[in-house]
Amino acid sequence: MTTMIRIEAMGQGGLSAVRGVWRAAIQLAVAIWTFATAAAADMAVDPTWSAVPLPNDARWTVERAPGPGGEPGLRIRVHRATEPFYKLQLAQPLGIAWAPGDRIALSFLARSPTTNRVRVIVEQTGEPWTWVTDVAAEWFPSWQRHAVTQTLDRAWRAGELSVRVQAGFQPGEMQMADLRVENLGPDPRLGAAAASVRPESVAERTRRVRQCELVIRVRDRDGRPVRGARVEVRQQRHAFLFGCNIFLLDPASRAPWQLEYQRRFVALLNYATLPFYWGAYEPAPGQPNEAKLEAMARWCAEHGLAAKGHPICWHEVWPRWAPTTADATIPLLEARVKTLIPQYARWVRYWDVWNEVHAATGPRHIGTGIGDWVRRDGAVRPVMTALRWAREVAPPGVVLLYNDFDISARNERLLQMLAVSNALPDAIGIQSHMHGGPWPLERVWAVTERFAVFDRPIHFTEMTVVSGQRRPGVPNKERYEPGEWPTTPEGEAAQAEYVEQVYRVLFSHPAVEAITWWDFSDRRAWKLAPAGWLREDMTPKPVYERLMRLIRGEWWTEAAERTDSTGTVRVRAWRGVHRIRVTADEASAESGVEIPLRGPAVVETTVVLGLPPR
């Protein structure tokens, strides 16, 4: 049952604005709660609250209780927990509009003598309940202020967002006061990002970060310099990882489309993501599809592709046979982690150990054991535990990632807590599916900067920009029917233009070590959207040709010089593996040099020519 609660005015009646911050006292039976939003003078807070269910029933009660400084507040007593926890909640729409780049600040005072867990969340008022920011934490017996600030990546109209207090985690007593939701205005970091993404800044930084001076000294058998020798330097592979998922790979198939898919993949990329979704990999308990994944991993290794396994722990693609409780699931996940990493160590160096932990508590995942684990223990402990399992078995050189689409302060808090426990992943995975439209380049840079503070390599793990619009009348949905979202010439041109720009920006950032596009082809792409670099028939879109010119052209070392009087050649080389061929008179020699992704600005090597004595 839902009951509507009227706002009782503070002071002389109506809502009073104090320096642009709206305050209102909420009367719920005998409870009063302070609420605030920063707003312009013509804004108003919606004058109703809703409570689910009606307080003072058998599950919970609410009463007036002042804060530590006499602030109007309330006391909540939960008599019986609910599943899910948000079946006990208070909610109110926010009567304020928000612009992209605005900072939203949520804060309140709270305590709980029974150390209850409560979530205070700002999210979309109706479906699909898009999350904006929240504070989900245990409240301690002494008063504490909880606060979080989040930069918005889109606009919201007045009333489109609501603040909710969700208290059904467990029985107990909670007290809170002085709840505030404030608009702090534009994020100043976006201004700094604008300067960083200017083409001249990107170009200068790329040269500094991704190139080095390769010094090649040519000597004869007696160690003397060889003057006038021809030195050719040809790059073999990038140190930076340019990748894509390779889910369509079937090494045994000779179908023309499959062969073209393979050919174009290895011609451009050096990194591939393999599908280890639990429900597909092990459709029946104890019967993993090892042969398929081993064949895919072996093919990648044979074709010079570094490989990543994705994902080990995730609440989606949950096996139908898998448990629904945390206690039964945890040992199975431990066995999965400790089996996959060593079993595929010959071919798979990178692993998404945990994927999207915060989303595991959503209502669609109530029946999964992994969701039960996260709801019970919070986000930090499960991720930390899985990473510990992985470290116990990972050979040297294996890179363990935490991967998430959540680029909010919530994900930053997770990483902060992992850092406090010295349990950060080896790399941080950031997803960037842009089905709704490309991110501004300033946002791309600002997000990267925020996560770079953890001093871990950043992998953009799942990038999507579509090459067409949905047909008129087709609504936004999880999956589309064939023909509902086609690629178009105009969309392909726009996709190519944006993708080149965003790749230039990310390649120039010193913290970024990998970019993985998600769907290489439109064929069976996620959502059946036109998300690939190839069309369904495997013909290349303009974006493929644009990136070929960039990754294997502009950012690729091809040089031919002659040694000077000291037998030396200096070449500006991109970081990666290179072959060197030296010829002089009738003698020749070949050598190799690997320039690491993170290394000195100058790399020196010597090539010895077997010239006859002079």
Please tell me the distance from the alpha carbon of residue 532 to that of residue 465, in angstroms, as a whole number.
8
Tokens of 418: 């992992």
Task: Please work out, in degrees rounded to the nearest 5, the angle formed at the alpha carbon of residue 363 by the alpha carbons of 328 and 54.
Answer: 115
Percent of the chain with pLDDT over 70: 90
Q: Is the pLDDT of residue 175 over 80?
A: yes
Q: Is the pLDDT of residue 6 over 80?
A: no
The pLDDT of residue 611 is 65
pLDDT in tens, 371-391: 999 989 999 999 999 999 999
Please tell me the distance from the alpha carbon of residue 274 to that of residue 341, in angstroms, as a whole number.
13
The pLDDT of 41-68, averaged and rounded, is 63
pLDDT in tens, 66-95: 999 999 888 999 998 887 788 888 888 998
pLDDT in tens, 550-562: 999 999 999 999 9
pLDDT in tens, 454-468: 999 999 999 999 999
Please tell me the distance from the alpha carbon of residue 539 to that of residue 251, in angstroms, as a whole number.
20
pLDDT in tens, 261-293: 999 999 999 999 999 999 999 999 999 999 999
In terms of pLDDT, which residue wins out, 189 or 202? 202
Please state which architecture CATH assigns to domain 3-187. Answer: Sandwich (2.60)
CB 218 within 8 A of CB 609: yes
Q: Is the pLDDT of residue 5 over 70?
A: no
- The type of residue at 431 is Q
Residue 466: partners with Cβ closer than 8 Å, 6 or more residues away: 434, 435, 485, 491, 495, 529, 530, 531
Highest mean pLDDT among 314-328, 361-375, 472-486, 598-612: 314-328
Confidence of residue 34 (pLDDT cuts 50, 70, 90): very low
| DSSP three-state, residue 498 | helix
Please tell me the distance from the alpha carbon of residue 360 to that of residue 370, in angstroms, as a whole number.
7
CB 129 within 8 A of CB 123: yes
Nearest to 525 by CA among 245, 296, 334: 245
**What is the four-CA torsion angle of 380, 386, 389, 393, rounded to 10 degrees?**
-130
Confidence of residue 150 (pLDDT cuts 50, 70, 90): confident
CA 241, 242, 244, 249 dihedral sign is negative
- The type of residue at 410 is R
Confidence of residue 11 (pLDDT cuts 50, 70, 90): very low
Phi, psi of 142, deg, nearest 5: -90, 155
In this prediction the pTM is: 0.79
Please tell me the distance from the alpha carbon of residue 371 to that of residue 364, in angstroms, as a whole number.
9
Other Cβ atoms within 10 Å of 339 Cβ, number: 14
Please tell me the distance from the alpha carbon of residue 169 to that of residue 400, in angstroms, as a whole number.
32
Phi, psi of 388, deg, nearest 5: -65, -45
Alpha helices in 247-325 (DSSP H): 256-268, 278-281, 290-302
Residue 108: partners with Cβ closer than 8 Å, 6 or more residues away: 120, 135, 145, 146, 147, 176, 177, 178, 179, 180
Out of 432-441, 565-574, 591-600, least confident range: 432-441
CATH 3.20.20.80 domain position(s) in the chain = 270-425
Please tell me the distance from the alpha carbon of residue 542 to that of residue 431, in angstroms, as a whole number.
23
Q: What Rg value do the Cα atoms of the chain yield, rounded?
A: 28
pLDDT in tens, 423-441: 999 999 999 999 988 999 9
Residue 506: partners with Cβ closer than 8 Å, 6 or more residues away: 444, 448, 460, 512, 515
Please tell me the distance from the alpha carbon of residue 135 to that of residue 362, in angstroms, as a whole number.
16
CA 14, 53, 95, 150 dihedral sign is positive
Confidence of residue 40 (pLDDT cuts 50, 70, 90): very low
CATH 2.60.120.260 domain position(s) in the chain = 3-187
The pLDDT of residue 142 is 94
pLDDT in tens, 315-346: 999 999 999 999 999 999 999 999 999 999 99
Out of 439-443, 513-517, 573-577, least confident range: 439-443
Q: Where are the beta strands (DSSP E) in 13-59?
A: 16-18, 21-28, 31-38, 48-52
The pLDDT of residue 363 is 67
In terms of pLDDT, which residue wins out, 146 or 41? 146
Q: Is the pLDDT of residue 8 over 50?
A: no
Other Cβ atoms within 10 Å of 188 Cβ, number: 11
End-to-end CA distance of the chain: 100
In terms of pLDDT, which residue wins out, 506 or 364? 506
Confidence of residue 53 (pLDDT cuts 50, 70, 90): low
Please tell me the distance from the alpha carbon of residue 83 to that of residue 13, in angstroms, as a whole number.
40
Alpha helices in 312-426 (DSSP H): 326-343, 369-377, 380-393, 409-420
Percent of the chain with pLDDT over 90: 73
Confidence of residue 151 (pLDDT cuts 50, 70, 90): confident
Please tell me the distance from the alpha carbon of residue 443 to that of residue 449, in angstroms, as a whole number.
10
Q: Does residue 72 have a cis bond before it (omega within 30 degrees)? A: no
CB 461 within 8 A of CB 401: yes
| DSSP three-state, residue 307 | strand
In terms of pLDDT, which residue wins out, 410 or 171? 171
The pLDDT of residue 16 is 25
The pLDDT of 388-401, averaged and rounded, is 98
Mean pLDDT (the chain, rounded): 88
Please state which architecture CATH assigns to domain 270-425. Answer: Alpha-Beta Barrel (3.20)
Q: Is the pLDDT of residue 478 over 60?
A: yes
State which H helix or E strand residue 451 sits in.
helix 441-452
